[in-house]
Amino acid sequence: MKWSTNSKKLAAAFLTAAVFISGCGNDSVPLSYGTLDNNPDFALEDLGDQTTIPLFAHELCAAATDVTEKSGISTGALNSACVYDLSGKKVLYSYNANEHLSPASLTKLMTVLLAFENCPDLDQKISVGDVTIRENGAQLFGLKEGDRISIRDLLYITLLPSANDAALALAIYIAGSEEAFADMMNERALKMGATNTHFLNPHGLTQEGHYTCAYDLYLMFNELLKYPEFLDIIQTQSQTIEYTSADGSLNSKDAKTTNQYLKGGIDTPRTVSVIGGKTGSTSAAGKCMILYATSPAGKPYIVVVMGAEDVDTLYKTINNLCNDVI
């Protein structure tokens, strides 16, 4: 039987739907035919005599609807909240997981992921491009065109103080322009199944049409956990950054985390150990955070909160999610 292009698209849509309907832990679905050898246009690889194929998201957490019965958390002061059990492949809590929202600096997760995937030598020194950002109040490290700095240090600056000029410097170095990098971001998002995402910039400053959702951020963070360097960075409270200005002078400046758990300004949850994460904040996005934490037994979890009305609500919600749901 010859599969048409439309038939292939329908089959792919069916498999994708099966993932979200079935949730976590289902590793495969049965094939209607014993082999795909006679359907080369459909088969992506030689499946031999297999009668099942692995689901796209068989290693991921997925839920088709909100999952809120385990918690009495008030959702009136936030836009979205989720808890993902990585080892159990379960969604423990999900509120508005797929709603299109402004992510603020949580955007930088995708920027950092593309840096890891496209820059094999993190200690390579690069020349900073034009990273001029004129938005009032935007967090900046103070990088200028022509500065020389390592990719590793740009990652620290992007993740810890969440400097927008550092994220832009990575984007321009990798793709040549901010626009080309946004295209890369969106292509990578689709490849990982982040279908409720559309990025227009590498830093997350407010721009109409720039959005993602809590579930897609989980997918991005989950990919980043494959890189030990990422875990090292998000656990860091402060990192001294040394770089060379365009005029040849040496500079040294500390990059400090915005994570109040690591800074000691907020009591941590009772039930888990906080490893690290990423914060984000704009007037459009509200207060946002994605957190990586582990249980006393070492089980890993990802917690996402988006659109909290203030910092107290953000951290109180995360603590309640950890203490009541995990």
**How far apart, in whole angstroms, are the C-alpha atoms of residue 322 and residue 318?**
6
Backbone φ and ψ of 134, nearest 5°: -105, 0
162 labelled catalytic? yes
Cα-Cα-Cα-Cα dihedral sign, residues 271, 273, 278, 280: positive
End-to-end Cα spacing for the chain: 48
The structure tokens listed for 138 are 């935007």
> Which listed residue (150, 162, 281, 316) is catalytic?
162
Backbone φ and ψ of 73, nearest 5°: -65, 135
Report whether 274 contacts 293 (CB < 8 A): yes
Give which of 244, 261, 280 is closest to 162, Cα–Cα: 280
22 labelled catalytic? no
> Which listed residue (71, 94, 108, 287) is catalytic?
108
**How far apart, in whole angstroms, are the C-alpha atoms of residue 61 and residue 84?**
7
> Which listed residue (105, 150, 281, 287) is catalytic?
105
105 labelled catalytic? yes
**Catalytic residue ranges:** 105, 108, 162
